[in-house]
């Protein structure tokens, strides 16, 4: 060995390692062939587990799926909480609906259903009745007020041709109307044409997010934000 150069020693070491590894592999395979099935299965399980632990684990991501039906139901509930039924005092007849537009109790409705010589009450979403106070109006939209805190609707002036819209079309019994915007308004006096049949007085017109974009006046929907 003392007569070998460093390069020869390195080559000899590599050769010995290779032969040793080859021999070890042959012996291992031979032993595996001769080993009982239970031992072989155990060894394989250890190898598989080791490989799984060594492999990178992908992070799990939680995904929440919200259906269109759930969105519509949520939007309807949101708008309904800001919609009131309007009745003459001492009467059970619902003459129209109203939309709450402020936390201080201001309500808008169709002016044509209101008689200034008559007193009215608003039936809230929870069933309670509250007297309405008049506010002078020079437009087709009548403003009334409840003396108390309320939940206002989210008013929006954003809508587009072909957009899906909804309306609470019922009076004494709430019903949901669904349709599309079929004509865009040109001026603030123009109504919003939809495929929804009719528009109850004071009925809210809203989108799938629950934003109120119009109100029913004399059988048509008019934009509120304008």
Q: Which residues pair with 206 in a beta bridge?
A: 166, 212
State how far the Cα of 109 lies from the Cα of 76, in Å rounded to an integer: 19
User: Percent of the chain beyond pLDDT 70?
Assistant: 67
Contact 159, 213 (CB under 8 A): yes
Residue with tokens 């001492």: 90
Assess whether pLDDT exceeds 90 at residue 2: no
pLDDT tens, residue by residue, 163-200:
999 999 777 677 899 999 998 766 656 889 999 987 88
Q: Looking at 12-16, 85-89, 99-103, 144-148, which range is the least confident one?
A: 12-16
The pLDDT value given to residue 98: 95
Q: Is the pLDDT of residue 206 over 90?
A: yes
Residues 104-124, mean pLDDT to the nearest whole number: 92
Rounded distance between C-alpha atoms, residue 131 and residue 166, angstroms: 28
The answer to whether residue 35 scores a pLDDT higher than 60 is: no
> What is the model's pLDDT at position 29?
46
Write out the two tokens for 63. 């995904």
Residue 191 is given by DSSP the state P
Query: Any residues with CB less than 8 A from the CB of 214 and at least 6 apart, and which?
Result: 165, 192, 204, 205, 221, 222, 223, 224
The pLDDT tens digits for 48-75 are: 655 555 555 544 444 555 678 889 999 9
Task: Over range 8-23, report the average pLDDT.
Answer: 60
User: How much is the pLDDT for 3?
Assistant: 62
Pairwise CA distance, residues 164 & 184, whole Å: 13
For residue 155, is pLDDT > 60? Answer: yes
Asked if residues 178 and 163 have their Cβ atoms less than 8 Å apart, the reply is no
**Distance between CA atoms of residues 82 and 190, nearest Å:** 25
Q: What would the mean pLDDT of 154-168 be, rounded to a whole number?
A: 93
CA 6 to chain centre: 75
CA distance 96 to 98: 7
Name the pLDDT band for 31 (thresholds 50, 70, 90).
very low
């Amino acid at each position: 060995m003392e007569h070998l150069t460093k390069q020869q020693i390195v080559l000899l070491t590599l050769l010995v390692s290779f032969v040793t590894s080859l021999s070890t592999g042959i012996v291992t395979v031979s032993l595996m062939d001769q080993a009982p099935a239970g031992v072989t299965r155990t060894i394989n399980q250890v190898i598989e587990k080791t490989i799984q632990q060594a492999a990178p684990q992908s992070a799990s991501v939680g995904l929440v799926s919200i259906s269109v039906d759930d969105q519509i139901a949520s939007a309807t509930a949101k708008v309904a909480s800001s919609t009131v039924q309007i009745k003459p005092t001492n009467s059970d007849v619902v003459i129209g609906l109203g939309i709450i537009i402020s936390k201080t109790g201001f309500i808008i409705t169709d002016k044509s259903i209101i008689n200034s010589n008559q007193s009215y009450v608003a039936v809230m979403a929870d069933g309670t009745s509250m007297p309405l106070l008049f506010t002078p109006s020079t437009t087709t939209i009548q403003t009334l007020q409840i003396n108390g805190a309320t939940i206002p609707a989210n008013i929006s002036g954003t809508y587009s041709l072909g957009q899906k819209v909804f309306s609470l079309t019922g009076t004494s019994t709430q019903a949901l109307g669904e349709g599309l915007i079929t004509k865009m308004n040109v001026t603030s006096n123009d109504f919003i044409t939809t495929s929804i049949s009719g528009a109850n007085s004071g009925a809210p017109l809203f989108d799938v997010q629950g934003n109120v974009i119009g109100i029913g006046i004399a059988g048509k929907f008019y934009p509120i934000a304008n």
